[in-house]
Amino acid sequence: MYSMQEIKAHYLFGDEDAETLKSLLSIAQANRELMIEDFYDYLLGIPETAAFLQDDTVLQRLKLSHGGWFVNLFRGVYDNQYLHDLQRVGHVHVKIGLNAHFVNAAMQKVRRFAVGMIRENFPDRDERRKKTEAVEKILDINLDIMTASYIEEELKKVFISKRLESLLVRATERFTYGLNLVLVLALVGVSLSVVGLFFWEIFHVFRGSVEKGILSALGTLLILWMMIELMDNEIKTLKGGRFNIQVFIGVVIIAIIREILISTLRHDPLETQVFLAGTLMVLGVVYYLVARSQQISPIR
């Protein structure tokens, strides 16, 4: 934010302008009440601004405040304290939810009143022009500072919102990444268990249950194969790859195939085996449709 000295320099507002405005102080004080009534008649005539002026206590306090602001336009003192006071006014407008459009619209009402006040009191054209130019400058400076305060407040809201959003996204990403790591570790543990199960079933082969041992070991190998696919998919996800639902459907298919093998060894009822075969066929169709939608090859 610029200092008041810099702002005045940008508007070519010098000591002569300050003295010119100061010469209007007595006239401004004499017209203070008239300006307030004219100003608030205007505001009360707009539904959006009238909504802020329904409480009589608030209305009287605002009239007193705006009357003081109007007179201060002509005191000839425009330092950094004057700047801070105007910034505070802008911040208050933002906090109560007053649209900046109405601040600009209200300022033109003050401008017209001040110019009319000069016209009525100074018949000399050159003198009138000089005083009007000084009033135009100080009103433009006031509007500039208030508008800048609006922008500053809005940027703070956006910045805080964006910062919180960014923190939330980063925290969620880290949490999800952590869950994926846990899932990979769990898959490693399950895979080790499957390897143990495979050797246990091979042990059955040497105990004489050759058919049962071989079929069970084959089903376990299928599950181990799919565990490798799951871990590979999770590792790709951790590296930023796309989640592949097809792999998970494949796991269910392999589990059903293994269940069919075991069901055959147990000599389960025909209805059970038909149900498993039907489930496998449905899953096969789903797997095919997902593979087509993702435009990738089936399980390698």
> Is residue 153's pLDDT more than 70?
no
Predicted structure pTM score: 0.53
pLDDT tens-digit map of 172-224: 767 776 777 787 788 788 778 877 877 777 776 666 566 666 666 776 777 77
- Angstrom distance (rounded) from CA 115 to CA 135: 8
What's the pLDDT tens digit per position in 29-69? 999 999 999 999 999 999 999 998 888 998 999 999 999 99
Mean pLDDT computed over every residue of the chain = 80
Give the tokens for residue 4: 């008041």
Please count the CA atoms within 13 angstroms of the CA of 73 that sit on its side-chain side.
29
Distances (CA, A) of 232 to 146, 188, 247: 59, 11, 10
Asked if the model's pLDDT at residue 85 lies above 60, the reply is: yes
C-alpha 60, offset from chain centre: 39
Residue 291 or residue 32, greater confidence: 32
